[in-house]
Structure 1
Amino acid sequence: MTTTTTEPVGVLVRRWRERRRRSQLDVSLAAELSTRHLSCIETGRANPSRDMVRRLCEELDVPLRERNALYLAAGFAPVHRERAYADLGAARTAVEAVLTGHEPNPALAVNVRWELLAANRAMGLFLGDVTPDVTGPLNVLRATLHPDGLAGRIRNLAQWRAHVLRRVRRQLDRTSAAGLAELLAELESYPSPESDEPRDGGSPHDDLVVPLRLSSDHGDLALLYTTTVFGSPRDVTLDEIAIETFFPADAGTAATLRAILAGGR
């Protein structure tokens, strides 16, 4: 659902400019309008044209959902459609090709609030014994950090928890997505390990990236991850999709993942 607002368009423009930590002079030069005109828009003394809303949104990197809110506030119809994930056509095919092609390593697709949209078989093996949310889609971060979720199996829980919370804060700052502030508060309320050091089994030379160290029935696993997003999306749903792909951090984990998927367990 597209964000709706009763706030004036100028208030929204100023909020996004301040969120991006940009000055009026900087934004006006980049968007090719005068500083005075931008000031008038922000104070409500001038109403931006449809093209001006587009230019300001592009310069401020406003998410598509919030761009629709700015168009509405300026008196224009929203520009960007919002389809269901199942209706994304070639884009959905591309997501699922990445997920399937990444096997035997885990991979999943999530929306802006880390709600699960799709996962490959390898990821399903890790999520299969996680208690799902009572209502709505599975939230991957809740399932990961909740005491009844994967938290008890994460060997470097303090390190991974701190990393996850930083990601959510950055996501909230970048997108201002509805529900993210509440998710962050919930994740922060979960029990925190006393030490910031990895639990036994962590490696002192994890100096490239923060790994996810997970105990399993098949032994300890060490995973790295990357995040992939679509370039130049025009659909709100597609703009909010991220594909999280996990890679083995060592040869032992790689061999274990191959064996697990081959066995179908």
Structure 2
Amino acid sequence: MTTTVEPVGALLRGWRERRRRSQLDVSLAADLSTRHLSYVETGRANPSRDLIRRLCDELDVPLRERNAVYLAAGFAPAHPERPLADLGAARDAVEAVLAGHEPNPALAVNVRWELLAANRAMRGFLGDLPAGLLEPPVNVLEATLHPDGMAGRIRNLAQWRAHVLRRVRRQLQRTAAEGLAELLARLESYPAGAERAADAANDLVVPLRLASDDGELALLYTTTVFGSPRDVTLDEIAIETFFPADRATAELLRARSS
């Protein structure tokens, strides 16, 4: 089978248009003439390795896609891709965040929301899911919104599902990551659930309201990413840490860990 590779100029133009930047804006920021940028985008000039770096930095191109740009220009990829287990201090940092977040749930995922690591509290939430949803690679969004997964226990399913879908759409627009469009289509096909009459007036953020054997849990989350990554795997890792949104949830989480 023949694989068609887009010209380097078309790839760079695509990222500029995705970022909604003009040629003038990008050329000034990357320190080259608008004419030269136009020539690169139309294939009349070949970019140097340094110019590719400058343009990708300015356009915030993900490292995986930067490698594709280098390859299209005839250069070797600039960024390695190693498994999480081989990332040394970065792996240790992920494990420290997950362990230190107990008794609250936390997990690490890649750009396609595939589970890379989880702490004990999070494994407790995932442990009772059907085996089909736990076959590697486990996709945490599918496990959450699939009707056979956690969806039946999410009290504000319509609200949470809408939030998740918006987040994946923004992520797809920003990264163009392979597999995200297919994931989004699957998530959109899952039942939405009944709309809530009204959101709680004192909610600071959209909470995940989850029924459990011990009572309802209300969780909010934060996302942590690595600054200035040079490895593709590290560039795509996000650590999702959940916090109790009320005192009752905090007490229930502490009780579950004892």
- TM bracket, shorter-chain basis: over 0.9
**Equivalent in the alignment of 1:223:** 219
TM superposition shift of 1:129: 0.8
Gaps of 5+ in 2: none
CA distance in 1, matches of 2:31, 2:18: 20
- Normalising by structure 2, what TM-score? 0.96
Q: CA contact under 8 A between 2:157 and 2:194: conserved in structure 1?
A: no
Matched, 1:162 2:169: no
State the SS of the aligned residue for 1:93: helix
Which residues in structure 2 correspond to 1:1-265 (within 5 Å)? 6-131=5-130, 132-133=132-133, 135-195=135-195, 197=197, 203-206=200-203, 208-262=204-258
- Give the whole-Å Cα distance in 2 for the aligned partners of 1:5 and 1:174: 23
In the superposition, the TM-score normalised over structure 1's length comes to: 0.93
User: What is the CA–CA distance in structure 2 between the aligned matches of 1:135 and 1:41, rounded to whole Å?
Assistant: 45
Spell out, residue by residue over 1:148-170, the C-alpha distance to the aligned partner (whole angstroms, 9 max, x if none).
00000000000000000001001
Q: What displacement does 1:88 show?
A: 1.0
| C-alpha distance in structure 1 between counterparts of 2:205 and 2:231, whole Å | 32
Q: State the identity as a percent.
A: 79
SS at match of 1:152: helix
CA distance in 1, matches of 2:79, 2:197: 45
For 2:38 and 2:81, the matched residues in 1 are separated by: 31
CA drift at 1:197: 4.0
Give distance in 2, aligned partners of 1:44 and 1:194.
52
Aligned residue for 1:109, secondary structure, equals strand
Distance 1:72 1:126, change over 3 A: same
For the residue of structure 1 that corresponds to 2:241, the secondary structure is: strand
After superposition, the CA RMSD in angstroms is: 1.3
Deviation of 1:194 after TM superposition, in Å, equals: 3.8
